[in-house]
Structure 1
Amino acid sequence: MAVRFIRASLPSSVTLALATAVFLVTYVLISLRTIRRFPIERPGVAMLGGALMLLFGVLTPAEALLAINLNVILLLVGMMILVSGLEVCGFFDLVSSRIASRAKSQISFLTWLMVATATLSALVVNDTVALLVTPVVIRTARALRVNPVPYVVAVAIAANVGSVATEVGNPQNAFIAIRSGIPFVVFSAYLLPVTVACLAVSIGLVWLVFRKEFAAPIVASAVPPVPVQRRGVALTFGVMIAVSAAFLASPSPVWLPLVALAGGSFVLFFLPFFSNVTPRALIAKVDWGIILFFIGLFIVLGGVRASGLSNTIQDGFTSALGGRSGGLVWLVGLSALLSNLISNVPAVLLLAEVVPQNSTQLWLALAASSTLAGNATILGAACNVIVVQGASRDGVTVTMKDFVKAGLPVTAATLVLSTVLIALLVPA
């Protein structure tokens, strides 16, 4: 009642001004990340922005609930539970150990590590893969008596690049899939070749940048044995394969959240019967921060639409995105810029307001560019922050210089390559 009263008593111009202020403050705070050495947590900022949209009467509670894209939330939760099941059963330790034991040199270890990380990131949400793979890679690098820093950077880059390939590879792709309606098969048919090409370039550039560190020999015999709950791994991996097959068979992205939630729920219920893992342990490993981040941003952007601000934003970009090749280049450039200023998830949610619904080329360009641009700096993507923070907890410091000297050339090369390939492969 109070929200309706506030909304009814305010003229539309005031509502527009309030919505604009909340929108700008939210996105500026997300881009700052710290104020006077006090960290700013993005989920908290997004939720505060959503709450202010309600408090100022821009949205009613019912409208705020409708603004939340439940399909995206369910898809992310289901996939995170699946990958958590693999982690707690020792799957990532097993994969890393096998790669290390077969590696004859550091370049061999790097190549297989980046290929494996990229593949896993295409199958499940890359943020979760990065979180779980990082400590395993550090342990393996120490066992091989090599510098772990280049491999930590490589994991972040590979996780970002690999996630481009599918609609479930990262949170922004999941949102684009639901928003655009592009079928899973169509999305991957166009972006899988782009991903493979970009991954090959990324491996070469990471090796080139860190070639001095990779010159040292490895000690394969130093890799310790890894305890694995094989029945649990078999169950969870089997469910993941079934879920991936169902994704491929899905005629519309509308089915993706249902399939992911069904797979996650199956693992959540049955995994304790096949291992010593508890449901509580799986639930605790879900990245609830990104879930709250999405919920808050959905409400903020719901307020942007309800106030009429989205029409103003859309009019501002219509001319830039109106041309065919020009629109593609503009979108890629703007996406790359915003992704490094405010991170790729809020950038995609904002730019989705101006991308034509029926333009497959622009939606795919937005998916690829927002993800690949995140490799430029540590702050460019949540995945990078997760990897660097995880490494820090294990006593490995990755500086901005360490990351940027590989991330910037990888970003520049893959953005150009992906844009050219999308322009050639995807009809405008």
Structure 2
Amino acid sequence: MDMTLLIFLLVYVAMGFGKLPGFKVDRTGAAVVGALALMATGSITPKAAWEAIDYRSVGMLFGLMVVSAAFVVSGFYAWTARRVALLPVSPPVLLAVLIGVAGLLSSLLTNDVVVVAMTPLLVALTLARGLNPVPFLLAFCFAANTGSSGTLIGSPQNMIAAQGLGLSFNGFLEVTLLPALLSLPIIWGIVALMYRGCWTLPATAGGAATESTADACTTNENTSDATRDEVVLNVWETCKAGIVTLAVVTAFVLSDWPKELIALGAASVLLINRKIASSDMLGHVDGNLLLLIMGLFVVNGAMATTGLPQMLLADLRSAGINLNDPISLFLVGGALSNIVGNNPAVMLLVPVLNPAGHADALGAALVLGTGFSSNLIVFGSLAGIIVVEQAATCGVKISFGEFARAGVPVTLACMVLAAGWILML
């Protein structure tokens, strides 16, 4: 038990810090090494480790990543980013449009893929207009996190929570869509208020920044395309991806087929292509995230065999904290997601929940708590990390303090909204 607990703690220290202190081992590496170490020490057998991995969640996530990747290779994200960023509207209106686009795309496609594909494009295009990219990037990130909470397919943690609690696509939609939609105008109001008068860059700084950004982002094919006069959009491939996405959502809503089989079937249809290589599609699948989730399933499974999670749950109950109470789960999930990340937080909490009788309320509490709170600090979500790191590679620095200055009021306002909604369920 001592060795299992030690490995478990080291893995989640890496989840919190982004890497294992003193080593060049990131979150994914820590999860994989931790899983292997637990098998090597006999804390969990290889057979039990395989059984601990929820193939349904992993299969559905992989399939939907491929669907989202189809929009990347078709040029849809680059085309959308350019069309939005070059709209002849004022900065506050542009901010509102960008928030709406981020919320919509993230609710239908995996939010992390959307953020990866569009962040460098938005940096280049806002600087080309002489605009300060920071408020647009922050709002885009915030909207992607909260907007993705509205549907089962919006983010990995939604899929894990839905599978663990047995939530249908329609049931999930009923308890999360409205607060996700209401969060978007809140984000616009706070960011627009905080950055009023700071929408543009000085002429000299804007020109220098635009030039440095073009140099920094030339290695990104999508970004270089977006900075040209024309963006090549493969209409047929975009329509094909759109039809498949519509078919996936329709199947989720109207059928009782296993969700992972629907997603994997959609992926197989899109991977069969005469013009686009399957390797190009699979190159946009976040393999690191898949390995991270698989490793954490094993680590959490080994920890469950020790009985310590059950003991901790009993101690929490005696202290007046019942994780099967939606509000308690909402608050604990929100706090935990900012310590270890939203995906690991959901994976830690789902196994200790009893969905009998009120699975919808628990699902809303878990998803909204981990989704809405993830805008608090940079490391609260993978989307936040992606935006900050990709902006930095393009010459735009978003400091921890700058992120939190906007993230804290956005998070507090959205959490109050979500808490009120959960109380009404």
Instruction: Give me the TM-score of the superposition, normalised by structure 2.
Output: 0.89
1:18 positional shift: 2.4
2:178 matched to which residue of 1?
193
Report if aligned partners of 1:250, 1:256 keep a CA contact under 8 Å in 2. no
Equivalences for 1:364-379 in 2 at 5 Å?
Answer: 364-379=364-379
Distance in 1 of aligned mates of 2:146 and 2:67: 21
Answer yes or no: is 1:257 the counterpart of 2:255.
no
2:278 matched to which residue of 1?
279
Distance in 1 of aligned mates of 2:298 and 2:317: 24
Identical pairs, percent? 29
Equivalences for 1:116-131 in 2 at 5 Å?
Answer: 116-131=101-116
Can you give the 5+ residue segments of structure 2 that lack an aligned partner in the other structure?
Answer: 204-226
Equivalences for 1:85-104 in 2 at 5 Å?
Answer: 85-104=70-89
The equivalent position to 2:338 in structure 1, one of 300, 318, 340, is 340
Answer yes or no: is 1:236 the counterpart of 2:244.
no
Residue aligned with 1:173, SS: helix
The equivalent position to 1:329 in structure 2, one of 315, 327, 330, is 327
The equivalent position to 2:92 in structure 1, one of 85, 107, 110, is 107
2:349 matched to which residue of 1?
351
2:415 matched to which residue of 1?
415
> What amino acid is the match of 1:415?
M
Distance in 1 of aligned mates of 2:301 and 2:67: 30
Distance change (3 Å), C-alpha of 1:56 and 1:37 = closer
Residue aligned with 1:213, SS: coil
2:406 matched to which residue of 1?
406
Residue aligned with 1:167, SS: coil
1:181-240 CA-to-partner distances (Å, cap 9, x unmatched) read: 01110111121111011111111111111122237899xxx9833111111111111111
1:373-410 CA-to-partner distances (Å, cap 9, x unmatched) read: 11001111111111111212222221112211111111
1:313-356 CA-to-partner distances (Å, cap 9, x unmatched) read: 322333445498xx333222211211111111111111113222
Report if aligned partners of 1:313, 1:354 keep a CA contact under 8 Å in 2. no
Instruction: Give me the TM-score of the superposition, normalised by structure 1.
Output: 0.88
1:363 matched to which residue of 2?
363
1:94 positional shift: 1.7
Distance change (3 Å), C-alpha of 1:107 and 1:217 = farther
The equivalent position to 2:230 in structure 1, one of 222, 225, 232, is 225
1:71-130 CA-to-partner distances (Å, cap 9, x unmatched) read: 111111111111111011110122222223434111111111111111110011111111
1:257-303 CA-to-partner distances (Å, cap 9, x unmatched) read: 11111111111113xx3xx4211111111101110000110001110
1:155 matched to which residue of 2?
140
Residue aligned with 1:403, SS: helix
Moved more, 90-99 or 67-76: 90-99
Distance in 2 of aligned mates of 1:249 and 1:375: 33
Distance in 1 of aligned mates of 2:323 and 2:47: 38
Report if aligned partners of 1:33, 1:39 keep a CA contact under 8 Å in 2. no
2:195 matched to which residue of 1?
210
Report if aligned partners of 2:323, 2:329 keep a CA contact under 8 Å in 1. no
Distance in 2 of aligned mates of 1:40 and 1:412: 33
> What amino acid is the match of 2:265?
A
Report if aligned partners of 1:100, 1:223 keep a CA contact under 8 Å in 2. no
1:164 positional shift: 0.4
Distance change (3 Å), C-alpha of 1:185 and 1:217 = farther
Moved more, 89-98 or 160-169: 89-98
Moved more, 394-403 or 367-376: 394-403
Answer yes or no: is 1:384 the counterpart of 2:389.
no
Distance change (3 Å), C-alpha of 1:22 and 1:36 = closer
Distance in 2 of aligned mates of 1:411 and 1:38: 32
> What amino acid is the match of 1:294?
I
Distance in 1 of aligned mates of 2:322 and 2:394: 49
Distance change (3 Å), C-alpha of 1:385 and 1:61 = same
1:154-173 CA-to-partner distances (Å, cap 9, x unmatched) read: 12111101110011111111
Can you give the 5+ residue segments of structure 1 that lack an aligned partner in the other structure?
Answer: 1-15
Report if aligned partners of 1:304, 1:310 keep a CA contact under 8 Å in 2. yes
1:13 matched to which residue of 2?
none
1:12-68 CA-to-partner distances (Å, cap 9, x unmatched) read: xxxx22222221221122212246675541011111111121112111110000000
Equivalences for 1:130-149 in 2 at 5 Å?
Answer: 130-149=115-134
Report if aligned partners of 1:164, 1:371 keep a CA contact under 8 Å in 2. yes
Distance in 2 of aligned mates of 1:21 and 1:103: 57
1:245 matched to which residue of 2?
250
Residue aligned with 1:189, SS: helix
1:164 matched to which residue of 2?
149
Residue aligned with 1:211, SS: coil
Distance in 2 of aligned mates of 1:211 and 1:224: 30
1:128-153 CA-to-partner distances (Å, cap 9, x unmatched) read: 11101112211221232211121111
2:271 matched to which residue of 1?
268
Moved more, 403-412 or 51-60: 51-60
